[in-house]
Amino acid sequence: MIRPTRAGLTLTAVVLAGTGLLTYGGLRGTLSYYRTPAEVAADPDARTTRARLGGTVVPGSVEHHGGQTVFRLVADGHEITVRQHGMPPDTFRPGQDAVVEGVLGPDGVFRSDQVLVRHGNEYRPADTDTGTDAGTGTGTGTDAGTER
């Protein structure tokens, strides 16, 4: 009774292929989207395979040398120096989270060719304080003290 139509088979194939592709792509870079400096430093494969490294841009560590940007990423007390080829996005700021993609060099410097800026779920106007000191009174007043 059930006679698969060509359209049905094609659709099923497209959906399955798409799902497979997305799942594979999603899971490829190990199971997590990025790794912390401590994880990258401890991983012997990090020097040979591309990885994403995530952390907070250490304030005061950003330097521009010609076409390169050098900065440090920190998370959980571990730091890695990143040498980025090309300009980071305009939203790149010290103190913000960033995810870089590249390979860890033999000198322990992470050579990156892409910087992605992570932004938090907090929104405030430009003319107020940076939020490093809690309780500037610009939030909804629910709990300004829980900032990271």
Q: Do 101 and 127 contact (CB within 8 A), yes or no? A: no
* Residue 16 neighbours by CB under 8 Å, 6+ apart: none
The contact mask relative to other proteins for 23-42 (x = CB under 8 A, - = no) is x-xx-xx-xxxx--------
Q: Do 52 and 102 contact (CB within 8 A), yes or no? A: no
Give me the least distance between CB of 74 and other proteins, in Å please: 16
| Matching residue, tokens 């939020």 | 131
Among 44, 77, 107, 146, binds other proteins (CB under 8 A): 146
Which of 136, 144, 92, 147 is CA-nearest to residue 114? 92
| 60: phi then psi, degrees, rounded to nearest 5 | 85, -5
Q: Which two structure tokens, joined as six digits, stand for 132?
A: 């490093």
The contact mask relative to other proteins for 82-121 (x = CB under 8 A, - = no) is ------xx-xxx--x--x--------------xxxxxxxx
Give me the least distance between CB of 106 and other proteins, in Å please: 27
Give me the least distance between CB of 63 and other proteins, in Å please: 19
Residue 39, H or E segment: helix 37-42
Give me the least distance between CB of 139 and other proteins, in Å please: 3
Give the binding site for other proteins (CB under 8 A): 3, 5, 7-8, 11, 15, 18-19, 22-23, 25-26, 28-29, 31-34, 54, 88-89, 91-93, 96, 99, 114-128, 130-131, 138-140, 142-144, 146-147
